[in-house]
Structure 1
Amino acid sequence: MGMALAREQLNLYLDGLLSLSRYPEDVSRERLVQVCGDSESFEELLGEWIWVNGLSPEISLKLKLWFGLQYQNLADLFGLSIREVDQMLRGLRVRELGSYPELSHLNKDAPGSGRISCFMVEQRLSAWVDTEWEDLTGLKELQAHLEECENCRGRLKSYRQLQMKILGERKEFSAVTEEDWTLLQMQIGRKKIRNRAKWLAYGMIAIIIFIGIVWVIKSRSERAPNIYEIIDEQK
């Protein structure tokens, strides 16, 4: 990414990225600019940011809602299958909302339809809310069940309320201006120079120590008497 494009793209996702960070805002901004400069796409930037902050797949629900990621994007980020992503997001929602109380009647069919149970709706509702459900036949059955089942409509309402809650957890931050960007780039450049100088100094010290050790070993070997010389002296 070019510098201007990187800054503009960074600002598009800045609120979500900084909200995910475990570091103070000033540190996070500097690290974001550095990561952004090394990334060629938002997906690469996001993957690097997740690694920098040591974030686990449990933030997937936030990533899905804050950045509009698809299941395939999440699968690529965390090395999972789409099925595993579906199960993970459903599990995260259940953990937030609690188990569906009506699922004690697992074999009870939907009212009037006789085709799909509340249990089956609960298994599919997460993907449907995420617009990841592609089975048109199953989609019609799900919609028909929701029209007739008050309990599952209530569950759907809880899912949507949870989404609004998670969206509300994303904080707002001021955009990175061109002046900020230039200043941060300069700070990053100075740190890189200092780091190079530091590692160069460490390297020089290591070389000096190595030369000293070699000299000591060589000096000792030169001073050590040859075994044949010892025998001659004894004679």
Structure 2
Amino acid sequence: MTNTFPEPLVAARGLTKVYRSGTVETQALRGIDLALYPGEFTAVVGPSGGGKTTLLNIIGALDSPTEGELHILGHDLRRLSRRARAELRLRELGFVFQAFNLMPVLTAQENVEFVLELQGVGQERVGRARQVLEQLGLAELAGRRPGELSGGQQQRVAVARAVASLPRLVLADEPTANLDGDNAELLLTMMRELNEKKKITFLFSTHDPRVVAHARRVLTLVDGRITGDAEGNPQAVRG
């Protein structure tokens, strides 16, 4: 019989992360087992300091676990060189960081174009960047640099940069933290459309009930352990 179940985009087993400072050890993750499948729209919730950002950084190949196995898009991260990890991040992953990490000397438009240029996209990158900025209500601000934008506007530019290349997996750390209700809904609706139409998989860390309301799966992370794995809002199921 043919196996019709999809392979997971992310498969983690026994992930542990310990930070050491002198003789002090802080255990951020404690034996995480997780499978994330294509097309998921998943929120990770839990108290601050529970390990949410650490988990996203490890899944995004920005950090390495102290122990455990992690496969991302079929790649065993333990076997990838630093160059191969960087290529994986560039080609397949999108990131939304809490600190935005926009390039201060570039305009909003140029920040979004930058990743596309690194991927070798030609002049069409200009139109693609403009389109996603328009979707997020930023068309009139495309020529401004990050220092000329509010925190919420910078956050939307960071999201535009993350999704413009249509990556297979987007990792978003508190993507609505600086947004008012209308802009949060605009952003989440766009992400849902990309999830449904372009099959981009999303994994969020969040304290925001607005994000949870859109999620199809909700993971609870407390003290470095997954203590809950539940279906999200039934109204968030694909149409």
Q: TM-score, normalised by structure 1?
A: 0.28
Q: Which has the higher helix share?
A: 1
Q: TM-score, normalised by structure 2?
A: 0.28
Q: Which has the higher strand share?
A: 2
